[in-house]
Amino acid sequence: MTDPARNHIEKLMKDESFVKRFQRKLRYVERDYDTPCLEWQGGTDKAGYGRIHVKRLCERPTGRNFFAHRLNYMIERRAYIEPAEYILHQCHNRLCCNPDHFLLGDHQENMDDLHDSRRVAGEKNSNSKLKEDEVWEILCLYHDEGYSMGDISEEYGVARGTISDIVYGRTWGDLYDEFVGENDE
């Protein structure tokens, strides 16, 4: 049995009129990468990725949402991408739809790529409750002053586990490495 989403995408890939209209929403933009990004000019989701809602050729009247970069990859490469396959943006531009800037990978490879890029580390992480200078203070309080993790967590209003992750270098790794390096000298 054919997956309805796959069937929809395969119909769209063959529809020259749809492809032309879709690709009119793409613009080449020079960025910090070897070649220009092909940026989506349409709507985006909360995370900043290009999204498009398509009713055309859909088996259901409400249509279906697609990531613009995934749809353009499939159109350009004439190949369906399985839902478990991830596009790893080598240019690290969420709006980019240039298939030459993509590698295909699995979830773990996507997470490794994100980690290696350092784009969401430390203060760049929207979930971070602490600033870099506060983390440095926490490291000093624990390692140099001998404060307990419980006292530090109470002082900074974060969980004890957060403090434990910081003082053992499981989070804020770059800062931890810098702190340990300075204290070894």
pLDDT digits (tens, 9 = 90+) for 76-131: 999 999 999 999 999 989 999 999 999 999 988 887 887 676 555 555 555 568 88
Q: At what angle do helices 68-77 and 16-23 cross, to 10 degrees?
A: 130
Listed range (40-44, 76-80, 126-130, 154-158) with the worst mean pLDDT: 126-130
| Mean pLDDT to the nearest integer, 138-164 | 92
Q: What is the DSSP letter of 90?
A: T
Percent of the chain with pLDDT over 70: 90
The mean pLDDT value of the chain amounts to 89
Output the pLDDT for position 183. 61
The most distant pair of C-alpha atoms in the chain lies apart, rounded to whole Å, by: 68
CA-CA distance, 55 to 62, in Å (whole number)? 6
Output the pLDDT for position 135. 87
| Contact of 28 with 38, CB cutoff 8 Å | yes
Output the pLDDT for position 69. 98
Of 115, 126, 130, 116, which Cα lies nearest the Cα of 167?
130
Output the pLDDT for position 83. 92
Determine the 3-state secondary structure of 170 from DSSP.
coil
Give me the phi and psi of 51, to 5 degrees please.
Answer: -135, 150
The separation between CA 93 and the C-alpha centre of its own chain, rounded to angstroms, equals 9
CA-CA distance, 129 to 133, in Å (whole number)? 12
CA 132-144-115 angle, to 5 degrees, is: 35
pTM, rounded to two decimals: 0.66
CA-CA distance, 31 to 112, in Å (whole number)? 23
CA-CA distance, 20 to 59, in Å (whole number)? 21
| Contact of 95 with 39, CB cutoff 8 Å | yes
Domains, the chain, in order of start with CATH, read: 4-117 (3.90.75), 123-184 (no CATH)
CA 25-15-104 angle, to 5 degrees, is: 65
CA-CA distance, 99 to 108, in Å (whole number)? 20
Q: How confident is the model at residue 29 (pLDDT cuts 50, 70, 90)?
A: very high
Output the pLDDT for position 169. 87
| Chain segment 49-65, per-residue pLDDT in tens | 999 999 999 999 999 99
| Mean pLDDT to the nearest integer, 37-55 | 94
Output the pLDDT for position 41. 98
| Chain segment 64-79, per-residue pLDDT in tens | 999 999 999 999 999 9
